[in-house]
Amino acid sequence: MTGATGHTVVMVSMTDLSTPATRFRLVAVLEAISWAGLLIAMFFKWVVGANPTDLQLGVQIVGPIHGAVFLAYVLVTLMVARPLDWSLRTTGLALVASVPPFGSIVFERWAAKRGELAELSVA
């Protein structure tokens, strides 16, 4: 399919995990979602803070989930770097992108535009 700008548009389902690029995209999105959940939980714990005992529960639940998704992102990044033929620089940027909130999404979009995500990249 060709988009309005003349670029080839590839439609790939989020549940299609048959390629390294789709696996990376899924874990990058999940990492950003878990970041959002953690930020919301921390907001309620530290800013709203009406009842500290009740509000810590959100961080206690979302924190470990984010930690597990973060580790999955790092692992998947290292696993897909070779099949996607990423340079050391690109792999390093992908890993650094996991640190700031929503950095994984910024990296995923950047990598897709630069042709680093195989079939998910804009032609």
**Average of per-residue pLDDT values in the chain:** 85
Position 56 confidence tier, pLDDT thresholds 50, 70, 90: confident
Reply yes or no on whether the pLDDT at 13 is more than 70.
Answer: no
**Cβ 56 vs Cβ 32: under 8 Å:** no
Q: Which string of DSSP letters, residue by residue, matches 78-93?
A: HHHHTTTT--HHHHHH
- Domain segments of the chain: what residues? 20-120
Per-residue pLDDT, averaged over 34-47, amounts to 89
Reply yes or no on whether the pLDDT at 110 is more than 60.
Answer: yes
Reply yes or no on whether the pLDDT at 103 is more than 80.
Answer: yes
Tokens of 107: 């990296």
pLDDT of the residue at 7? 47
pLDDT of the residue at 9? 44
pLDDT of the residue at 2? 47
